[in-house]
Amino acid sequence: MNRTSPLPRAAKVESYRLRVDARLTNEPGGSLVLEQSRYRLRLPHPEAGRRAVLLRMAEGWLSDLQMAQLVTGLEGEARILPAQLLVRRLLSHSWLERRVAAGARPLLDVVPRGIGAQSAPARRPHGVGVVYRLSRFAVLRTDQGRMLAHSPLSSVAIGCAHTQLGAVLAGAAADGVSRLDVAKGLEVDESTAGHVLDELLTAQVLVTSEEAEAEHGTAPMGLWSPEELWLHDRTRPQRHAAPIGATHRFRGVLEPEPAQPGGPTTRPVIELPAPPPGPVDATRDSLAAVMSRRRSVRHQDDARPITAAQLAEFLHRVQRFEPAAAGATAGATARATDGGVDGPEAGRRPYPGAGGIGELEIYPLVSRCAGLESGLYHYDSVRHGLAAVAATGPETAKMLSFARATASMPDAPQVLFVITARIGRLMWKYEGIPYALALKDAGILTAWMYLVATDMGLAPCALGAGDVASFAALSGLDTLVEPAIAEFALGSCPSDSEEQP
């Protein structure tokens, strides 16, 4: 960018407003209450000036000059300081957004992500003549009609109140920007440009050249991908105060999905034999013994492939779902519908899962199974049956080839399980964490599959990735409605197999 100094412009002006995700309410006794997600701040009986300031900031932006005029008109100049102290207190606890303007022209908004004492980040001042770059972890997205830039490493975000700030960030991503570049891009004086740089650095949207290099090649920053750090930041409320957990945010807005998926159940279901009722065979190994023998087995005995009966027992032991209404059968513990009469149906699986919602589904891709035709199936975990989804073909061959290569297996797995998540069932109840919950549930299911397979003398192997594109083409599933999130291979175990941890 051209680094020539622009002509002086209007001076910097700061304004404040209540953060957009908070609300201000009046109590009957005259106190004011600030609320945001799980946080609450009560202001007992504020005087007329401070009450007026709070009410105005709940409606829109209020500058220091406007605040002084408002308080003076109600209580006199002597009460300006208490109002200013209240604003500073609310700023330090991240209840307010702060706008930086050049005269009457807004430049940027400092948007708090955290809340409470010590939630404001330490300021990072710029250096004269130093060139700064866009952080590898910076996120740009739309929010409340403005572009918002934030880093998962900071507790504040930057709202682009002026469109030219977006161009400044683009320049930082390309060649880097200095204070002169910011001044020219925003058409402000260098002093105001320095303030803008300070805000971008404090939000860690911009970083020094040395920090940018460390983000790419030095531990620990260089080890993180932006996507993984974003997911970690959103699901672990360390630097943000966004709603998280069982907020039931879609109650009264959307109907929750039923426990049993509607699509695959319209197909004919092949009923599978259920294991005999009663206690587990006492002659079987203890859990500790099974855990000690648990291995990933990549060699399968294709001369004696897994049988349909073994597949049926395995699926019943790892994935059967007993809805709450029918939970009294098969010894299940009945549960009420989650979240009340309008909540998602809950039930019981053999493994623990978020809210008893049972969002995970299993699609077995059968390559070799004695007594069962090859093809892609869906396991109906309520009726304990298989519904045919797709016959064998080029796409199934691609999925099996991908699985073989991913698991470093000498041959394609006899059965490849694709684990999906009906993520909307989790999203209806939980906020901020539903995808992370689905991944955790899939991890629990995978561990359970290992133990059951080991107990049954089968060859299990979890995969690190799968051919999601081919699966989506075969199943016809919308990846935003029911994404595939895990894969697991299973087959018969040769007696001389090489078992690996």
Q: What is the pLDDT of residues 286-331, one digit of tens each?
A: 888 888 888 999 999 999 999 999 999 999 999 999 887 543 333 3
| CA dist., res. 368 & res. 491, Å (int) | 9
pLDDT of residue 310: 97
Give tens-digit pLDDT for 40-80: 999 999 999 999 999 999 999 999 999 999 999 999 999 99
pLDDT band, residue 267 (cuts 50/70/90): confident
Neighbouring residues of 192: CB distance < 8 A, sequence distance ≥ 6: 9, 10, 11, 12, 100, 102, 107, 183, 186
Q: Which of 171-180, 202-211, 246-255 has the lowest mean pLDDT?
A: 246-255
The answer to whether the Cα torsion of 57, 63, 64, 65 is positive or negative is negative
When comparing pLDDT for 483 and 10, which is higher?
A: 483
CB-based contact 300:411 (threshold 8 Å): yes
Strand order in the sheet with 32-36: 23-26, 32-36, 39-43
From the number of C-beta atoms within 10 Å of its C-beta (0-12, 13-18, 19+), residue 467 rates as: buried
The superfamily CATH assigns to domain 264-270+285-500 is NADH Oxidase (3.40.109.10)
Type and span of the H or E element at 80: helix 80-92
pLDDT of residue 9: 62
End-to-end CA distance of the chain: 55
From the number of C-beta atoms within 10 Å of its C-beta (0-12, 13-18, 19+), residue 153 rates as: buried
Beta carbons within 10 angstroms of residue 219's beta carbon: 8
User: What's the whole-number mean pLDDT along residues 396-422?
Assistant: 95
Beta carbons within 10 angstroms of residue 338's beta carbon: 21
Give tens-digit pLDDT for 140-180: 999 888 999 999 999 999 999 999 999 999 999 999 999 99
Q: Which of 218-232, 402-416, 484-498 has the lowest mean pLDDT?
A: 484-498
**Is pLDDT at 434 greater than 70 in this prediction?**
yes
User: What's the whole-number mean pLDDT along residues 93-112?
Assistant: 97
| CA dist., res. 92 & res. 119, Å (int) | 7
pLDDT band, residue 275 (cuts 50/70/90): confident
pLDDT of residue 278: 58
| CA dist., res. 491 & res. 310, Å (int) | 10
**Is pLDDT at 339 greater than 80 in this prediction?**
no
Type and span of the H or E element at 280: none
When comparing pLDDT for 501 and 179, which is higher?
A: 179
**Is pLDDT at 5 greater than 60 in this prediction?**
no
Nearest to 149 by CA among 162, 165, 136, 138: 138
DSSP 393: S
Type and span of the H or E element at 316: helix 308-319
Which tokens is 166 given? Answer: 């977006």
pLDDT of residue 10: 76
**Is pLDDT at 377 greater than 90 in this prediction?**
yes
CB-based contact 200:100 (threshold 8 Å): no
User: What's the whole-number mean pLDDT along residues 179-184?
Assistant: 97
Nearest to 362 by CA among 270, 484, 474, 222: 484
pLDDT of residue 7: 47
- Mean pLDDT computed over every residue of the chain: 90
pLDDT of residue 325: 59
Q: Which of 23-37, 233-247, 295-309, 319-333 has the lowest mean pLDDT?
A: 319-333
Residue spans of the domains in the chain: they are 12-235, 264-270+285-500
Q: Which residues pair with 390 in a beta bridge?
A: 376
pLDDT band, residue 257 (cuts 50/70/90): confident
User: What's the whole-number mean pLDDT along residues 192-202?
Assistant: 97
pLDDT band, residue 495 (cuts 50/70/90): confident
Task: Quote the pTM value.
Answer: 0.81
